[in-house]
A = this chain, B = another copy of it.
Amino acid sequence: MKKSKDTTTESEILNAAKRIFQRKGMSGARMQEIADEAGINKALLHYYFRSKQLLFEAVFKSLFFMLAPELNKVLNDDSNLFDKIKSFTANYISFVIKHPFLPNFIIQELNRNPEFVTTLITNEYFPNISTFKNQVKEEIAQGIIKPIKPEQLFINVLALNVFPFIASPLLEGLLAINDKDFNKLMEERTTQVADFIINAIKI
Protein backbone atom coordinates (compact mmCIF):
# COMPACT_ATOMS: atom_id res chain seq x y z
CA MET A 1 0.00 0.00 0.00
CA LYS A 2 2.86 2.35 -0.78
CA LYS A 3 1.64 5.87 -1.33
CA SER A 4 4.55 6.35 -3.74
CA LYS A 5 3.23 9.84 -4.37
CA ASP A 6 5.60 12.71 -3.69
CA THR A 7 3.92 12.85 -0.29
CA THR A 8 4.65 9.61 1.50
CA THR A 9 3.10 9.01 4.89
CA GLU A 10 6.50 9.35 6.51
CA SER A 11 7.19 12.78 5.01
CA GLU A 12 3.62 13.80 5.74
CA ILE A 13 4.23 13.02 9.40
CA LEU A 14 7.56 14.81 9.38
CA ASN A 15 6.02 17.94 7.89
CA ALA A 16 3.17 17.93 10.35
CA ALA A 17 5.64 17.43 13.19
CA LYS A 18 7.74 20.32 11.89
CA ARG A 19 4.78 22.65 11.97
CA ILE A 20 3.75 21.67 15.48
CA PHE A 21 7.21 21.46 17.02
CA GLN A 22 8.25 24.82 15.60
CA ARG A 23 5.33 26.57 17.26
CA LYS A 24 5.14 24.66 20.53
CA GLY A 25 8.63 23.32 21.10
CA MET A 26 9.48 19.82 22.29
CA SER A 27 7.72 20.03 25.64
CA GLY A 28 4.70 21.95 24.39
CA ALA A 29 3.97 19.67 21.45
CA ARG A 30 1.62 16.68 21.79
CA MET A 31 1.84 13.49 19.79
CA GLN A 32 -1.94 13.48 19.30
CA GLU A 33 -1.79 17.00 17.91
CA ILE A 34 0.89 15.99 15.42
CA ALA A 35 -1.15 12.95 14.39
CA ASP A 36 -4.21 15.15 13.85
CA GLU A 37 -2.14 17.64 11.86
CA ALA A 38 -0.89 14.80 9.66
CA GLY A 39 -4.39 13.34 9.42
CA ILE A 40 -3.38 9.91 10.64
CA ASN A 41 -3.60 7.69 13.69
CA LYS A 42 -1.32 8.37 16.63
CA ALA A 43 0.09 4.84 16.51
CA LEU A 44 1.49 5.55 13.07
CA LEU A 45 3.79 8.18 14.54
CA HIS A 46 5.35 5.50 16.67
CA TYR A 47 5.39 3.05 13.79
CA TYR A 48 7.54 5.43 11.75
CA PHE A 49 9.53 7.23 14.43
CA ARG A 50 9.38 4.99 17.55
CA SER A 51 9.19 7.81 20.10
CA LYS A 52 8.53 11.50 20.55
CA GLN A 53 12.21 12.06 21.20
CA LEU A 54 13.28 10.44 17.92
CA LEU A 55 10.59 12.26 15.96
CA PHE A 56 11.74 15.48 17.54
CA GLU A 57 15.35 14.82 16.64
CA ALA A 58 14.42 14.09 13.03
CA VAL A 59 12.47 17.35 12.92
CA PHE A 60 15.21 19.33 14.59
CA LYS A 61 17.94 18.12 12.27
CA SER A 62 15.81 18.65 9.20
CA LEU A 63 14.94 22.19 10.25
CA PHE A 64 18.47 23.04 11.25
CA PHE A 65 19.75 22.03 7.85
CA MET A 66 17.16 24.23 6.22
CA LEU A 67 18.65 27.16 8.12
CA ALA A 68 22.27 26.17 7.53
CA PRO A 69 22.43 27.25 3.85
CA GLU A 70 21.23 30.71 4.88
CA LEU A 71 24.12 31.01 7.28
CA ASN A 72 26.52 29.78 4.64
CA LYS A 73 25.57 32.79 2.59
CA VAL A 74 27.54 34.92 5.05
CA LEU A 75 30.29 32.41 5.35
CA ASN A 76 31.05 30.78 2.05
CA ASP A 77 30.02 33.06 -0.73
CA ASP A 78 32.78 34.19 -3.06
CA SER A 79 31.84 37.87 -3.29
CA ASN A 80 33.61 40.56 -1.30
CA LEU A 81 32.68 41.21 2.30
CA PHE A 82 30.38 44.19 1.72
CA ASP A 83 28.41 42.47 -1.03
CA LYS A 84 28.20 39.36 1.07
CA ILE A 85 26.73 41.25 4.00
CA LYS A 86 24.31 43.04 1.66
CA SER A 87 23.05 39.88 0.04
CA PHE A 88 22.74 38.01 3.31
CA THR A 89 20.77 40.82 4.89
CA ALA A 90 18.51 41.15 1.88
CA ASN A 91 17.92 37.41 1.61
CA TYR A 92 17.40 36.62 5.26
CA ILE A 93 14.09 38.41 5.50
CA SER A 94 12.54 36.40 2.69
CA PHE A 95 13.66 33.22 4.40
CA VAL A 96 12.07 34.28 7.68
CA ILE A 97 8.82 35.17 5.95
CA LYS A 98 8.66 31.61 4.63
CA HIS A 99 9.67 30.10 7.98
CA PRO A 100 8.75 32.57 10.70
CA PHE A 101 9.10 30.13 13.60
CA LEU A 102 12.22 28.34 12.49
CA PRO A 103 15.11 30.43 13.88
CA ASN A 104 13.42 30.85 17.22
CA PHE A 105 12.76 27.11 17.39
CA ILE A 106 16.41 26.25 16.75
CA ILE A 107 17.69 28.70 19.33
CA GLN A 108 15.12 27.70 21.92
CA GLU A 109 15.75 23.99 21.64
CA LEU A 110 19.51 24.44 21.65
CA ASN A 111 19.14 26.34 24.91
CA ARG A 112 17.08 23.52 26.34
CA ASN A 113 19.68 20.99 25.31
CA PRO A 114 23.01 22.63 24.43
CA GLU A 115 24.78 19.31 23.93
CA PHE A 116 22.62 18.69 20.89
CA VAL A 117 24.84 20.99 18.86
CA THR A 118 27.64 18.42 18.97
CA THR A 119 25.44 16.07 16.96
CA LEU A 120 25.05 18.70 14.27
CA ILE A 121 28.69 19.71 13.97
CA THR A 122 29.74 16.38 12.50
CA ASN A 123 27.35 16.86 9.56
CA GLU A 124 29.06 17.85 6.32
CA TYR A 125 26.60 20.70 5.73
CA PHE A 126 27.22 22.29 9.11
CA PRO A 127 28.31 25.90 8.44
CA ASN A 128 32.03 26.45 8.58
CA ILE A 129 33.43 29.83 9.47
CA SER A 130 37.04 29.48 8.32
CA THR A 131 36.63 31.05 4.87
CA PHE A 132 34.83 34.01 6.40
CA LYS A 133 37.59 34.42 8.97
CA ASN A 134 40.27 34.54 6.30
CA GLN A 135 38.31 36.98 4.21
CA VAL A 136 37.85 39.40 7.10
CA LYS A 137 41.55 39.21 7.97
CA GLU A 138 42.41 39.75 4.33
CA GLU A 139 40.24 42.85 3.97
CA ILE A 140 41.63 44.24 7.21
CA ALA A 141 45.16 43.73 5.87
CA GLN A 142 44.16 45.48 2.65
CA GLY A 143 42.92 48.46 4.65
CA ILE A 144 39.33 48.05 3.44
CA ILE A 145 37.82 47.59 6.88
CA LYS A 146 38.80 48.46 10.42
CA PRO A 147 40.37 45.78 12.62
CA ILE A 148 37.71 43.54 14.13
CA LYS A 149 37.71 39.90 15.18
CA PRO A 150 35.94 37.90 12.48
CA GLU A 151 33.94 36.16 15.19
CA GLN A 152 32.64 39.46 16.52
CA LEU A 153 31.68 40.64 13.06
CA PHE A 154 29.89 37.38 12.38
CA ILE A 155 27.99 37.63 15.66
CA ASN A 156 27.01 41.20 14.81
CA VAL A 157 25.74 40.32 11.35
CA LEU A 158 23.72 37.47 12.76
CA ALA A 159 22.42 39.51 15.70
CA LEU A 160 21.22 42.42 13.58
CA ASN A 161 19.44 40.12 11.16
CA VAL A 162 18.10 37.34 13.36
CA PHE A 163 17.24 39.04 16.63
CA PRO A 164 14.40 41.32 15.46
CA PHE A 165 12.34 38.37 14.26
CA ILE A 166 12.97 36.33 17.37
CA ALA A 167 12.05 39.22 19.62
CA SER A 168 9.18 40.55 17.52
CA PRO A 169 6.46 40.36 20.20
CA LEU A 170 8.72 42.13 22.69
CA LEU A 171 9.78 44.75 20.17
CA GLU A 172 6.21 45.44 19.11
CA GLY A 173 5.43 46.07 22.76
CA LEU A 174 8.46 48.27 23.42
CA LEU A 175 8.01 50.30 20.25
CA ALA A 176 4.24 50.42 20.74
CA ILE A 177 3.53 49.35 17.17
CA ASN A 178 1.36 46.72 15.54
CA ASP A 179 2.28 43.85 13.23
CA LYS A 180 1.85 45.93 10.12
CA ASP A 181 4.18 48.72 11.22
CA PHE A 182 6.64 46.17 12.52
CA ASN A 183 6.77 44.50 9.12
CA LYS A 184 7.43 47.88 7.53
CA LEU A 185 10.39 48.36 9.86
CA MET A 186 11.66 44.93 8.90
CA GLU A 187 11.42 45.75 5.21
CA GLU A 188 13.45 48.89 5.75
CA ARG A 189 16.09 46.76 7.37
CA THR A 190 16.73 44.75 4.19
CA THR A 191 19.04 47.55 3.09
CA GLN A 192 19.60 49.53 6.28
CA VAL A 193 21.18 46.76 8.31
CA ALA A 194 23.86 46.18 5.70
CA ASP A 195 24.56 49.91 5.52
CA PHE A 196 24.76 50.05 9.31
CA ILE A 197 27.32 47.25 9.43
CA ILE A 198 29.34 48.59 6.54
CA ASN A 199 29.45 52.07 8.08
CA ALA A 200 30.64 50.52 11.32
CA ILE A 201 33.59 48.70 9.79
CA LYS A 202 34.64 50.55 6.63
CA ILE A 203 37.63 52.83 6.81
Near B by CB (< 8 A), chain A positions 1-39 give 24-28
- Which of A48-56, A76-84, A150-158 has 4 or more CB atoms under 8 Å from chain B? A150-158
- A182 → chain B closest CB, angstroms: 9
CB < 8 Å: which of B117, B127, B160 contacts A156?
Answer: B160
| Contact status B169-A28, CB under 8 Å | no
| Contact status A185-B117, CB under 8 Å | no
Query: Cβ of A99 < 8 Å from any Cβ of B?
Result: no
Q: What is the interface size of chain A, counting residues whose CB is below 8 A from a CB of the partner?
A: 58
A111-155 vs B: 1/0 string, CB under 8 Å?
110101110110000110100000000000000001011011011
| Contact status B25-A110, CB under 8 Å | no
Question: With A149-B188, A173-B120, A200-B200 known to touch, is A158 a contact of B154 (CB < 8 Å)?
Answer: no
Chain B residue with Cβ nearest A133: B175
Query: Cβ of A189 < 8 Å from any Cβ of B?
Result: yes
Query: Cβ of A167 < 8 Å from any Cβ of B?
Result: yes
Given contacts A151-B177, A199-B201, 17 further A-B contacts (CB under 8 A): A71-B174, A108-B108, A110-B169, A111-B169, A116-B169, A117-B170, A121-B173, A148-B196, A151-B175, A151-B185, A152-B185, A156-B160, A159-B167, A163-B163, A163-B166, A166-B166, A197-B200
Ordered nearest first, which 3 A-B pairs have the shortest CB separation?
Answer: A159-B163, A200-B200, A117-B173
